[in-house]
Structure 1
């Protein structure tokens, strides 16, 4: 009877231990979610990405990586199989991107929605739908850095070609010519400065006023000259009339007309002579006006030395 009691206790203990183990496994394993498989296709390097890596949708953990292999139809492609919860609304516009977590270097796949095609991506367990992976930030930086270094290398090669020995000699000669031209221009600039100073002195208020006065006097002088020319023209017309009259009366009146013509011509010649003499003695009178006559005896400012 005692043996039966021990056997019953042992069996009960085994049953309780099995139930506890089952509960522990169930609790540790958590609830199982329904998932669907998708294949991420990429041609880029996926260093740091391993099976069981996380899959995140807009930052939320929604699945894991189950397999990584080469595409048997095109070895340039890498096929990454991911298992994603069926509650995630993937569309045909969904793309994948390789992202890195912190400073550990562990990679995970980040699913992003572009919004270009909102048609739902229907799961298929036999032929899982494919999702395209775009270059990550590090890949873009690497490509940009490589292109930048290539351009910098080309720029340095062009600079070396431009600064060859022959071009340096030409540049040195050009700088020497510029220096010589600058040195030769300095006296001209100094003379120009002096000329500008003299012009500034010449065009002071006093000289400008004298110039205005001279311009006012040139008008009457030209008017007198026009009158003299008119009188000479009249004298010439009279001479033509006198010579062209062939009658007796005209012949008899020729001498008085000639006398009158000679008198007019003499008067006109004297006036013209006076004008030309004034211009010859003081040609600046055309611009600054006729010079003032020195004061005579009894006038203010008269001096004997000035009269001499």
Structure 2
């Protein structure tokens, strides 16, 4: 009798548990059916990976509804339109922001409302004509997008690196390193000559510096000379030029005043030329007579021939 009684008790307990579960489910369904909903359409300009029908809708982290439907924008398939329902008691206003948040570590996403001020008008949404609210890019979505771009760039970098380290480039790099080693060994073998060359270059640089200093001093002296005496020299030259100009003006004035006398004088000098020639001939004959007289005074005075004129 005892085993049968135990089976009866277990059966009754099981039926009671099932009935309680059904009752809770009916109560929960009735509660959901009795709730009044406000409907909104969320516009996403990026992918909504991880978001699916039935996912929760949150307001500042508190669940206030769920996702009803997802569809692509017929005008632009890159945009997604998500229909959500929210408890009508929750005020969704014009300045309320909306975006995606990570629901769990499996990658499931939830729609989350946040913000909104009491002075902003409230959006009234019904299922037939839900108001459109554009979503803001979420940090997680931006991270995924940037991560994909980063992976693409990393893959491209690895591909370029593989191309860079091809067999031909590796051989070229080996040759370059070998040539560099040979050049380094050659330089090390002639290290003493390089040191001497550097010493000579250092000495030449020192001499060049000294020459530059001297040139700078000469330039400074010339600059000082020009500053101190250049003005006086220029003033003296200016005075001399003024004097020359005055003298030239006077000579020009004198020439104009005595133009007739100068012309007569020049004409007289032209007539004087024959007389000067005759005088030169007479002086030449007199010179010859004097020489003869010195050589033979008696013959010249008493018995000499007549004096002949020698033409030049």
> Which structure has the bigger radius of gyration?
2
Q: TM (normalized to structure 1)?
A: 0.43
- Which is helix-richer, 1 or 2? 2
